[in-house]
Homo-oligomer: A and B are copies of this chain.
Amino acid sequence: MTPTIRDVAERAGVSVATASRVLTGSRKVTPDLVTSVQEAARTLGYRHNAVARALRRGRSNTIGMVVPEIGNPFFPAIVEAVERRLQESGRDLFLCDAQQDVGIELSRVQALADRQVDGLIIIPVSAAASRDALERIPHQTPVVQVDRFVEEYAADWVGVDDELGIGLAVEHLASLGARNIAFVNAKLDSSSAVQRYTGFKRAMARLGLPDDTQQLFGTYRAEWGRAAAQELATGSVLPDAVVCGNDEIAVGVLREFRRRQIRVPEDVLVTGFDDIRFAALADPPLTTVRQPHEQLAAECIRLLDARMAEQDTPVQRIAIAPSLVVRESTGGQS
């Protein structure tokens, strides 16, 4: 069997209390005993049982995170940044995937909460349907939402200013002379889809552009981008530009236009959102709205720690301004 702290104490000739004190450093212990306990622990290959510790302490030194779909490359990028931050404070991150399903999301959230994670970072699947999952989280567990949020649910949030981001894209296109600007997005069930849509409409209005352009709603995936591009291409007139709700959609759009020999950026301009790894590798490289991962992650951990330190402080929503990255899909430099 794996050795317990009792074995360590026995071998070192001390009580378990002393052994625990040495191993956790929770109280001062005579140097002699310190070394003999450490020696004993080392020779036995002792590792503390994190389950027992968590039960006793009521905390686990672990943060849980749930993302909507790990296959969507934007989310791993956020996860990596969060992980790097957590590492600085020596905490572990356990990651779960909701597979775009609020039922699975609920079970993941509960699995993590049941295991006494000290905090929960969640990118909710749906602005409305994820509320149930989040409301079932025990109230003492701090929760921070990232990127997306749930409507009418009081928890901290940090994300990018989606409205502003889409606005940057639209303005850029308008400055290049585009007037008939189509919009291809995911269905409006996540908060980011909603905000990007309102961002689009407001920017169009602000710039005095016609807002009866083609606006198509599907999923945040490349297949949808292809399907949408097909619809745009077979319509009566090709738009001057296509604003996409995320980069995956945009990559699908580019692919379909290429297949149909519609040239980007000569015949039509295309923009994405997120600046995923492959945005710069697409052909042509994609003009997109960059999400500052590191900053998002830093704010996320800051919010979480603040919430852990003080439960009853007012909820915050932090929107970070994104920036536009101009590449060849709108005629920029490579």
Q: Which residues of A contact B (CB under 8 A)?
A: 2, 47-52, 54-55, 60, 62, 70-71, 73, 76-77, 79-80, 83-84, 87, 92-97, 99, 104, 107-108, 110-111, 113-116, 138, 140, 222, 251-252, 254-255, 258-259, 277-278, 281-283, 285, 334
- Return chain B residues, CB-CB under 8 Å to A258: 283
A97 to B81, CA, bound (A): 11
A96-B97 CB under 8 A given contacts A251-B281, A277-B71: no
Contacts of A138 on B, CB cut-off 8 Å? 2, 47
In Å, the complex CA distance between A140 and B138 comes to: 33
Residue of B nearest to A139 (CB): B2
29 of the cross-chain contacts (CB-CB < 8 Å) are A2-B138, A47-B113, A50-B114, A50-B116, A51-B60, A52-B55, A62-B111, A70-B80, A71-B76, A71-B77, A71-B277, A73-B76, A76-B76, A79-B97, A80-B99, A83-B97, A87-B104, A92-B96, A93-B97, A94-B96, A95-B95, A95-B97, A222-B281, A252-B281, A254-B281, A254-B283, A259-B334, A278-B278, A282-B283
* Cβ–Cβ < 8 Å partners of A70 in chain B: 70, 76, 79-80, 95
In whole angstroms, what is the CA distance A73 to B108 when docked? 22
Nearest 10 CB-CB pairings of A with B: A283-B283, A50-B114, A94-B94, A95-B95, A92-B111, A70-B76, A51-B55, A51-B54, A50-B115, A255-B281
